[in-house]
Chains A and B, each alone.
Chain A
Amino acid sequence: NAGVTQTPKFQVLKTGQSMTLQCAQDMNHEYMSWYRQDPGMGLRLIHYSVGAGITDQGEVPNGYNVSRSTTEDFPLRLLSAAPSQTSVYFCASSYLFPHYEQYFGPGTRLTVT
Chain B
Amino acid sequence: ELKVEQNPLFLSMQEGKNYTIYCNYSTTSDRLYWYRQDPGKSLESLFVLLSNGAVKQEGRLMASLDTKARLSTLHITAAVHDLSATYFCAADFGGGADGLTFGKGTHLIIQP
Contact = CB atoms under 8 A, between A and B. Distances in A.
Contacts, number: 62
A44 B102 contact: yes
A45 B43 contact: no
Interface residues of A, number: 25
A40 interface: yes
B42 A58 contact: no
Interface in A14-42: 31, 33, 35, 40-42
B32 to A, nearest CB: 11
Given A42-B104, A43-B88, A104 B96 contact: no
Interface residues of B, number: 25
A50 interface: yes
A42 B42 contact: no
Interface stretch (A70-78, A79-87, A95-103): A95-103
Closest A-B pairs by Cβ, 6 of them = A100-B96, A42-B102, A45-B99, A104-B43, A43-B102, A42-B104
